[in-house]
């Protein structure tokens, strides 16, 4: 597949030589059908990839330096491979530094490289732009070094990079999906065992992603605070004698018996994780049976739980969900990603997706005056190197 015209032009400006012969990596975006804030609680998630991409091209250097340019950010950073340390404040280059550091920690001796990154995945929209960047860099550096890391292990490596260098207490869902999900399939991922079942997406199901226009920045701490609250809840339950390792092990009887000890906030955080794991299992059945209405009902319940129990919504997300659900042909809608902004996912019949998307956009504009970015989900292959010099 040829690279996008804008990326070819950026590569020429970058000085990357012959664009047709460059090492080129292509990594899709991630859309989570259901299972929000379950991954870092060892729970179940049901994500899929879609045809929005991060592209990376790379060429070797004669030294031990990484020069990385982001066409999206309009910035270039240079760092040494020896003695990599996290920066004092968050920057996009921390994702790149983290991946390089984790690869070297595996005992892989990397070469210096010039890397150019470009992406059509909206930043801060809940579509896994950060994990896509991590995997693009990882595959580029590995290819230059002539090394390989198995896909599941590479996903875990990129997760560690995000946690240690970007400071985000993320789960494994994003990296695993982008590296392991088959084209046209969702994956039912057990985030504790990393067991995977590939679930075909019925052709009659259409999914529309609409951006509310509010960008979230996960390292600002809101996602981390929810993760910390989940850990605190587990500590309370363990002190009470419950044999659980994470909220994945929670049952309704345990939750209700410890409602007073947990307090209102932690009780509701636990209730979201418990019921979300149940919704994931129900969603698998809806996919396998082609039940659009059932899946739409689960979307609505998921959104209500994220809004009321996990408290990760915002006014713009609420307005967009209402606008989407008021549109003809929509079976249900919910926020996707970490929350506090980003996108809404709606389900409709695939044949109706284009017209439904237009109505969602019009409804949202009539309420907010904002023209929303949209994407109709399309099948995509997992992260891969698609050409080499």
Residues annotated as part of the active site: 174
The token duo for 135 is 């995997």
Please answer whether residues 364 and 370 qualify as being in contact, where contact means their C-beta atoms are separated by less than 8 angstroms.
yes
CA angle 271, 322, 33 (to 5 degrees): 55
From CA 298, how far away is CA 288, in angstroms rounded? Answer: 15
**Could you tell me which residues are beta bridge partners of residue 335?**
344
d(CA 60, CA 351): 46
C-alpha–C-alpha distance, residues 359 and 313, integer Å:
22
DSSP state for residue 383 in the 8-state scheme:
S
For 319, half-sphere exposure in the C-beta direction (CA atoms, 13 angstrom radius) is 20
Q: How far is the C-alpha of 160 from the C-alpha of 147, rounded, in Å?
A: 19
* 111, 69 contact by CB (below 8 A): no
> What are the CA-CA distances from residue 259 to residues 264, 266, 303 (Å)?
7, 9, 23
What is the pairing mode between strands 196-200 and 23-34? Answer: unpaired
Q: Identify how many contiguous H helices and E strands the chain contains and give both numbers.
A: 11, 12
Determine contact, residues 209/226, Cβ cutoff 8 Å: no
Using only C-alpha atoms, the chain has a radius of gyration, in whole angstroms, of 21
């Amino acid at each position: 597949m040829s690279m996008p015209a804008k990326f070819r032009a950026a590569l020429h400006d970058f000085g990357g030589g012959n664009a047709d012969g460059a090492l080129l990596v292509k990594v899709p975006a991630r859309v989570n059908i259901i299972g929000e804030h379950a991954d870092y609680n060892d729970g179940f998630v049901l994500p899929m990839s879609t045809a929005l991409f991060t592209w990376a091209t790379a060429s070797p250097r004669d030294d031990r330096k990484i020069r990385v340019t982001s066409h999206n950010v309009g910035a270039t950073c240079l760092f040494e491979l020896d003695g990599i340390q996290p920066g004092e404040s968050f920057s996009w280059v921390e994702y790149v530094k983290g991946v390089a550091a984790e690869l070297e920690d595996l005992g892989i001796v990397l070469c210096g490289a010039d890397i150019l990154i470009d992406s059509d995945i909206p930043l801060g929209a809940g579509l896994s732009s950060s994990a896509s960047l991590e995997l693009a860099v990882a595959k580029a550096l590995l290819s230059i070094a002539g090394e390989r890391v198995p896909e599941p292990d590479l996903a875990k490596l990129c997760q560690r990079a995000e946690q240690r260098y970007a400071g985000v207490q993320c789960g494994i869902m994003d990296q695993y999906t982008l590296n392991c999900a088959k084209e046209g399939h969702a994956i039912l991922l057990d985030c504790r065992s990393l067991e995977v079942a590939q679930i075909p997406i019925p052709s009659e199901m259409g999914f529309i992603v609409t951006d509310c226009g509010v960008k979230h920045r996960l390292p600002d701490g809101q996602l981390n605070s929810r993760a910390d609250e989940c850990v605190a809840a587990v500590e309370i339950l363990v002190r009470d004698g419950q044999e659980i390792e994470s909220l994945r092990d929670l049952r309704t009887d345990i939750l209700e018996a410890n409602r007073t000890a947990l307090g209102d906030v932690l009780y509701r955080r636990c209730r979201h994780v418990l019921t979300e794991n149940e919704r994931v299992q129900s969603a698998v059945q809806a996919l396998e049976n082609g039940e659009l209405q059932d899946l739409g009902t689960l979307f609505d319940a998921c959104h209500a739980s994220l809004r009321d129990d996990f408290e990760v919504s915002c006014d713009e997300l609420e307005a967009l969900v209402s606008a989407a659900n008021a549109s003809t042909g929509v079976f249900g809608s919910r926020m996707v990603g970490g929350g506090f902004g980003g996108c809404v996912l709606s389900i409709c019949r695939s044949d109706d997706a284009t017209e439904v998307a237009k109505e969602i956009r019009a409804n949202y504009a009539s309420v907010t005056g904002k023209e929303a970015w949209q994407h109709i989900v399309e099948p995509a292959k997992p992260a891969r190197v698609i050409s080499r010099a």
